[in-house]
Structure 1
Amino acid sequence: MLHSTSDCFDIKERNSLFDAKGRFHWTMNGVGLEFNHLFGFGVLDAGAMVALAKQWKTVPPRYHCEAGTVANIQ
């Protein structure tokens, strides 16, 4: 079950198709997915997105850390 926006983004990015690879510059991001500054990750494949969403395990929640005040003690 999808619980977050991150889940939706992950499914969208992993199920996009691109057929203009030879004509435009595609860059690989940090997780190995190719994207283009004009086309993003490509054309969405709705059928593949629904199939993946049915078996999706949600991504873990983000951690938010806050630092306290640093005192200069002498």
Structure 2
Amino acid sequence: MELKITRIGNSLGVILPRELLIKLGLDKGDSLYVTETTDGFSASPYDPTYAAQMDAARTLMKSRRNALRELGKTE
């Protein structure tokens, strides 16, 4: 899909076609994350930094399950 760069106010930007917004599950106000890859750039509605942080948190929670269970107890 080819997108043209256009002037939007004092900035430059692209207009995303409705079909692309639907496929990405995006709507007004949502974020689109662009990351550099070995093949160029990739655009996704998912934040890769957040995903990496969640993976690290899941690993930590799994390895410290008993400690977290004890901290969660109320008396």
Give the TM-score normalised by structure 1.
0.21
- Which has more helix, going by share of residues? 2
- Which has more strand, going by share of residues? 2
Q: Which has the higher Rg, Structure 1 or Structure 2?
A: 2
Give the TM-score normalised by structure 2.
0.21
